[in-house]
Amino acid sequence: MGHFLIKLRDLILLVLLAIPGTVACQTDPALPTLPQLAPATKYVKLDQTITRLLADYHYRQAKLDDAQSTLILDAYLQALDSNRSYFLNSDIDGFNKKYRTTLDDALLAGNLQPAYDIFNAYERRLVERTNWIINQLRNGNFDFNIDETAQLERKNAPWAGSTAELDEIWRKRLKNELLTLMLAGKETPPPKEALLKRYEARLRGVAQYTSEDAFQLYMNAVSRSFDPHTAYFSPRNFENFNIQMRLSLEGIGTVLRMEDERVTVVELVPGGPADLNGQIKPGDHIIGVGQGEKGPIVDVIGWRLDDIVDLIRGPRNTVVRLQVVSAKAGPSAPPKSLRLVRNTVKLDKQAAKQEIKTFPLAGRQAKIGIISIPIFYSDFAAAQRGDRDYRSTTRDVRRLLQELKQAKVDGIVLDLRQNGGGSLQEAVELTGLFIPEGPVVQVRNSGGGVEVENDPDPSLVYDGPLAVLVDHFSASASEIFAGAIQDYGRGIVIGDPTFGKGTVQTLIDLSRFLPTIKEPVGQLKLTVAKFYRINGSSTQNRGVIPDIALPSAFDPSEVGESAQEFALPWDEIKPVPYTGSRRLAGLLPELEQRHKLRIAASPAFTVLQEEVEASKEAHDKTTVSLLKRKREAEWGQTMTKQRELENQRRAALGLPPLRTDEALPDEEQTPADNAKQPDLLLDESARILVDLIDLLDTHGGQKALVMNIGNPASASEH
């Protein structure tokens, strides 16, 4: 199973071309009437091939029946109109009557007409609505002295019952968009003109929709109805996926997806420009892209994801400027401008690294080694060539452990925050550095068969006190490692509940099944297996729950596998025999108490807790005021509060306060500034480990943590 790549960046497959975008204007009389899109002949055979593969080989083993038809229709409507802003309730009623329980039969028969009928209906509604928007922007009056509110999130709202109701929804949405531009100081072009250009560009794009667009969107909905990591890639989008997996793109190193006509940052590629710069975070929305130091910012709301990615990519060492709405600041916040230099992501930037920090312990300074692992990597090509010095996570960490042991560290923290996974084999082998022997993870296939991946090396490289630091973006291979360390009682897991991606995907070249079609037909990414910890618990959906939690600005219901539609559930299978230590479990209450007392007395953590609460409050806000003076006052209060918290944090760290003319760090942060910021969560994790060392020393040493860990004789039978 080691050849599977298990990554958080697999999420990109949920969104490739998930929202149609930038395109051709019906208000221009020179433009032809939009054609009715129809499926090309090759798509009939391709549809049947994908459908058969999903039904026969997907892990769920779900029947393509009326129940699955319902899921497919829901996924398709969500992909087309996720914020319920174009279709009317009468449209949905019509789709339900005709297609709610018949899409399965159509797919099996190779009949794609229902998908194209729905797509063409969406296209008509999009043109009608955008024409209305353009007319409002050209001729309507917007009064910002009326005290009213706009609902931002409509994904769970009822569909509009009439055109008049939808008009009212869009009237308020346009007021909010104009007000946001006004508060951001948008003067060139003026807010109305900027919005007019945005919606005229969207309208011009409709004429560019092709039969392939409709087919891919529909087949992705079909695939996604099985689980969120299964997807169909058209030839063009498979190349985009390959670029992401090779990490060879010359861009900023972000994995993106489309949410409600805005591009959302899903993940930062370790070692990429965005990751190294620290100015952009997962969950942020990119709404504008500019080239070079002075190129105009192009509004990209409503664009195709592919087209936005093309704008962000570019030659190495060139500048790209982004307008970003911070997830932390909330949906009503004005955007901030960021400057990044494109570069190629290199392996050495993703490699594991170590440092040593010191903390007081019983009248001396304890030395804690920190090993940061951004991704589980392996240079497979070099290994296949027979290169004895090929790079891999396990090889690099083995070397770093030897260096830290020579430095006589008292304990080691492994930092797996934002590690989206990588090679399964590396996760297994890395676990083996910390245990004598034994099983590491179970892999269950769609037929119910279970394979156990065991530590392949009986040697034990490090037997000292250990902590593993994780967060909501630690996924897949990271969860396998953290779960195994926790199950064996080999170390303490600290941080947030992890992402919860406990599934295995494989890529299938569809041309193998369609030899009569001579042109490329794309690939199917298919979920074929599921991970289980050695205790029998799945990592899917729930992730790994830390032994000691740290403050987090992220809500598991909003970030992670459990937030994904159609995610496979958590479950359990039979555990495998293994021998673990229960000694840490008895020490956790004392560790928890010391941790809570320490952060309660820490001014820096007090500020962090307040920032977390402010971020959650902003994120949970689903409506915004459209009264200009009230909105200005709210934004002023938010900025004042942020500045106060930043100065409180600086005071707690012994740093000078911000000057009155100095921007907040999140607004104009450089890599050097980012490096200067203390990592409170990492330092607290190290202090928790110091507490553990203290308790182990008090209770007779730590060797019992590993002396009985391993694989009992009976395990060989499984």
Residues with a known catalytic role: 476, 487, 501
d(CA 426, CA 433): 11
Report whether pLDDT(245) > 80.
no
* Sign of the alpha-carbon torsion through 112, 113, 118, 122: positive
Contact present, 250 and 316 (Cβ < 8 Å): yes
459 and 559 assigned to the same domain: yes
Helix 305-312, helix 235-246: angle, nearest 10: 40
Domain region containing 417:
376-579
- Report if residue 248 sits inside a domain: yes
82 and 38 assigned to the same domain: yes
Q: Give the lowest-confidence range in 75-89, 240-254, 651-665.
A: 240-254
- Report if residue 130 sits inside a domain: yes
**β-bridge pairing 250-251 and 466-470:** unpaired
pLDDT in tens, 616-628: 777 778 889 999 9
Contact present, 669 and 279 (Cβ < 8 Å): yes
Q: Give the lowest-confidence range in 286-290, 471-475, 662-666.
A: 662-666
Mean confidence (pLDDT) of the chain: 85
d(CA 344, CA 222): 34
Domain tally, the chain:
3
210 and 99 assigned to the same domain: yes
Q: Report the pLDDT averaged over residues 639-643.
A: 83
Q: Report the pLDDT averaged over residues 83-87.
A: 95
CATH number for 295: 2.30.42.10
Looking from the CA of 297 toward its CB, the CA atoms found within 13 Å total 19
336 compared with 666, residue with greater pLDDT? 336
551 and 494 assigned to the same domain: yes
| The predicted structure's pLDDT at residue 2 | 37
268 and 388 assigned to the same domain: no
Report whether pLDDT(613) > 90.
no
Last residue of a domain, one of 579, 614, 639: 579
Q: What value, to the nearest 5°, has the Cα angle with vertex 688 and ends 396 and 402?
A: 25
38 and 93 assigned to the same domain: yes
184 and 248 assigned to the same domain: no
- Report if residue 605 sits inside a domain: no
Closest CA to 325 of 364, 283, 296: 283
d(CA 169, CA 175): 10
217 and 239 assigned to the same domain: no
Report whether pLDDT(15) > 50.
no
321 and 392 assigned to the same domain: no
d(CA 610, CA 533): 36
Report whether pLDDT(480) > 70.
yes
Last residue of a domain, one of 554, 579, 604: 579
Report whether pLDDT(153) > 70.
yes
Confidence of residue 316 (pLDDT cuts 50, 70, 90): confident
Helix (H/G/I), strand (E/B), else coil: 7? strand
| The predicted structure's pLDDT at residue 3 | 35
217 and 249 assigned to the same domain: no
d(CA 698, CA 682): 24
| The predicted structure's pLDDT at residue 345 | 65
Please name every residue paired with 321 in a beta bridge, in sequence order, or none if there are none.
290, 339
206 and 239 assigned to the same domain: no
Last residue of a domain, one of 233, 257, 290: 233
Contact present, 481 and 500 (Cβ < 8 Å): no
Q: How would DSSP label each residue in 541-602? A: TT-PPPSEE---S--TTTSSGGGSTTPPPP-B-PPPP-B---HHHHHHHHHHHHHHHHHHT-
CATH number for 531: 3.90.226.10
Provide the whole-model pTM: 0.85
24 and 172 assigned to the same domain: yes
- Report if residue 28 sits inside a domain: yes
